[in-house]
Structure 1
């Protein structure tokens, strides 16, 4: 009898060790799984790059082992379809779409692979999601439009700088940009101000388009237009030479020489998009169930050097922070 009990205990002990080994192996396998993430970005510029950095940091912080397949359209919208096809063919686990045209291309290319976007201004208008609260389908993400940003910018131009005619250089082919310009025009109807448009198709057109505004405007507002921001130095040089205050749509453009912006850090909205991707990759949520997020922080950042170039005195009541 004693021998029988000894044999039974030995069997139980051995089985426990085997189960433990299998359990450990399973956990190691789960934690070491490498996810393949497709990345599509419309163009190289600091804001979009910062958003991608934020996205990667969120996955890293969550312990996600990721391999990135990065493709850049180099500012050419016609490349987006090819990039989307390539990423779908690569059978990636998730696609990170960094800009409106990038997101639209991959959304048209697949209804199965999860897509998380950022640097998109009007997700509903771009037909990426059914609504902000209930995206539906396989697409969700974070937008780069705070509901108070344009309002605060226009009030600042009018009340603090006395502006009446606002010049806007933008790519009319970008839905993201058209939506912002139309929002500004609608707002200015009640402020006794007007918008003077200068449309471009490529970054090579930016300087000439900006020069066409001289004599017609007393201020400028450069929105988060990928084409224009990629050639921002051309706009800055024209604006500063002609002593025209130029507000911009995000902080990186302030650092590059824009006068000021009511904005947020693109790293932050990229990070928030990354957190959404983590939930999707871990099977905790589906894109359809993750509401589209707006930027969480809005503040005024100014460039002191640019203010000095324009001969502006920075007032304490502006409560501005300053770019480094």
Structure 2
């Protein structure tokens, strides 16, 4: 019996270590910031627990923006960062650890990360970002008056889905392929909205669900022949494996519409979006209000992203067989695929 308990404790420790050490990009950024500020846990004014569901460029940018806001405010902060490797159970373990450590604030970078934190505490302030539907996820009572210990910034502009579907129709396509993780509440809500808007515009949709990033390639291939284009929502599982969809899109001349500007630069054809650094920074400003000014999260309105605009990737258009019209060039910001190492 003692041996079994010991094995369980060791297993739990390994999970927590893995959650905290995986994702060198974010960890390196945090270590660099700590070196610049010479902040240690004992010397910090505040300890902030950062729970990020998975490593991918958009979420990483949001974490960087959050840290930058606190740095600009002059706060001496020690960041305890943990990545959940796309696993909701890991996210729950991370939240439990932060509560046990009695951190001053929890930054939830994704819907499941923030929900896990809220499941564990109603006392520690929680600031979120990269959450698609804060009300539907049960995080806030309303965007204007959150009403609890949680506030933050959403990662879906109310007009983004409407404009994306309108663009698909405008370019002459008739059907949309959707890939998402049905276990992500934010993804389910987005898919419902895409289906509603597509139906209103006379477009067909076909869905393929995944539960892990390793399944994304097969899901994309299953939609070949059924749809004209892919529309990738802000689904953490799928975006972390976006290159799989891009590969199919290029091989089959199926344009890949995306919902994040980072994904456009990674090789998506087009997308309405915003810089995740900006919503992370705005979430950080709300954290400053809490930590420095003593405000209560329930009194700080949650907010939607600002400055929504269209980007089109010229390289991706060529690889996916899309001819860019003069009208589209005038309507969008034209970018090229971000090369590795740039």
TM-score between the two structures when normalised by the length of structure 1: 0.88
Residues of 1 paired with 2:293 and 2:197: CA distance? 42
Give the distance between the partners of 1:96 and 1:221, measured in 2 at CA. Answer: 29
Q: CA deviation at 1:315?
A: 2.4
Correspondence for 1:14: none
Structure 1 residue 116 corresponds to structure 2 residue 127: yes
Runs of 4+ in structure 1 deviating by more than 6 angstroms, as ranges, are none
| Partner in structure 1 of residue 267 of structure 2 | 257
> Where does residue 151 of structure 1 map in the other structure?
162
Deviation by residue 1:233-283 (Cα, 9 ceiling, x = unmatched): 011001110000110010111111100110000000000000000000013
Aligned length: 292
Match of 1:300 among 296, 310, 313: 310
Aligned match of 2:335: 323
Give distance in 1, aligned partners of 2:194 and 2:164.
Answer: 10
**Counterpart residue number, 1:208:** 218
In 1: Cα distance, 2:323 partner to 2:217 partner: 28
Contact conserved, 2:144 with 2:302, CA < 8 A, in 1? yes
Correspondent of 2:117 among 88, 96, 106: 106
Matches of 1:67 and 1:316, distance apart in 2 = 50
TM-score by length of 2: 0.84
For residues 163-217 of structure 1, the C-alpha deviation after alignment (integer angstroms, 9 at most, x for no partner) is 1110000000000100000001111221111210000000111100110000100
Structure 1 residues not aligned, in runs of 5+ = 1-31
Task: Please give the alpha-carbon distance, in whole angstroms, between the structure 1 residues aligned to 2:44 and 2:87.
Answer: 34
Equivalent runs, 1:127-206 vs 2, <5 Å = 127-160=138-171, 162-206=172-216
Deviations 1:27-73 (A, max 9, x none): xxxxx852100000100000000000000000000001100000110
1:68 aligns with 2:79: yes
Shift of 1:317: 2.2
Superposition deviation, residue 137 in structure 1: 0.8
1:109 and 1:304 mapped to 2: Cα distance? Answer: 46
The unaligned stretches of length 5 or more in structure 2 are 1-42, 337-342
| Residue of structure 1 in register with 2:243 after alignment | 233
Shift in Å at residue 316 of structure 1? 3.1
Distance (whole Å) between structure 2 residues aligned to residue 111 and residue 83 of structure 1: 16
